Structure 1
Amino acid sequence: MTTASTITVRGLDELKALAGTDLGTSDWIEVTQERINGFADATGDHQWIHTDTERAAAGPFGAPIAHGYLTLSLFIPLFTALLEVEGVSTKVNYGLNKVRFPAPVRVGSRLRLAARLSEAVDVPGGLQITVDGTVEIEGGAKPAAVLQSLSRFYA
């Protein structure tokens, strides 16, 4: 896999031609306590394992951990660093086929995305892609997230 190389396509035909393509890996991003606290504020999920640094240090993970859905939300900036689609009018997240969180993300961890565009199918007015993604933890034995994302692009 290549690292931090953005693939740029123009239009739906070029995007469709990427079906079956390994998109490489993104650059690493750090998960800071500030990011975790901001996510807690945005979602109202202030569970102590995320936001109480002293209690979390003595807890089961030895440090505060990121919310699973925070980790999932990072898929978007990590993915857009791998693939840029130009010449379309609209890009939307259509959903997820599956998501798992095999390992906790401790504060200070660095994450990156390894992705493969596994499928591209025509939909009315556009194209739907399926991306198999693995959010890796630097130095981790298991990934932070494994997911299959669906996105739609319209002409």
Structure 2
Amino acid sequence: MPVTVHGIDEIRNRSGADLGHSAWVEIAQARVDTFADATDDHQWIHVDPERAAAGPFGGTIAHGYLTLSLLIPMWSELLDVQGVSMKVNYGLNKVRFPSPVRVGSKIRTHGRIASVEDVKGGVEVVADLTVEIDGTDKPACVAQAVYRFYA
């Protein structure tokens, strides 16, 4: 269940807040194949289960950018901002992919609000996000995302 805030002032008071975890999301081969089609990235480590079984990861893996794109729905499970006129995904300050996500594994996101700064008409929220892999200590993705919320 997401942390719910109402309006810009309440967001300002959440700097440093731990937002907890999203639900687990299973990474199926069909999702990886669809992402490969959408991005024209059909590298065998993503889309050829037979060849990938003998490869360095022991099976197919999700694209790093697929993992990154899943931050969007998982972020929505962490923070629900109400009472604003517009929400904007402003970008990323830093992204790393420390560990591959094997097809069939489950991932979830842990989030923390690193900072909240005033911008014209609203606030900019910088969130530290970590994509965890079920049963693995090393994260799949560590990102610092930037969001803007306008009054």
Structure 1 and Structure 2 fold alike (TM over 0.5): yes
- CA deviations 1:8-48 (Å, max 9, x no partner) are 11111111111110001111110110110111111111111
TM-score, normalising length: structure 2: 0.97
Q: Report SS of the residue matched to 1:81.
A: helix
* AA of the residue aligned to 2:65: Y
Structure-1-length-normalised TM-score: 0.95
Unaligned regions of 5+ residues in structure 2, if any? none
Letter matched to residue 135 of structure 1: V
- Which of 93, 97, 119 is matched with 2:93 structurally? 97
Report the 3-state secondary structure (helix = DSSP H, G, I; strand = E; otherwise coil) of the residue aligned with 2:104: coil
Q: Secondary structure of 1:113's partner?
A: strand
Q: Which residue of 1 aligns with 2:63?
A: 67
Q: Secondary structure at the match of 1:60?
A: coil
Question: Which amino acid in 2 is paired with 1:36?
Answer: V
Shift of 1:141: 2.2
Is 1:33 the counterpart of 2:58? The answer is no
Q: CA RMSD in A?
A: 0.8
- Residue from 68, 80, 90 that aligns with 1:84: 80
| Superposition pairs of residues 103-122 of structure 1, within 5 angstroms | 103-122=99-118
| Structure 1 alignment gaps of length 5 or more | none
| Structure 1 segments (4+ residues) deviating >6 Å | none
Cα distance in 1, alignment partners of residues 31 and 9 from structure 2: 37
Distance 2:94 2:81 in 1: 24
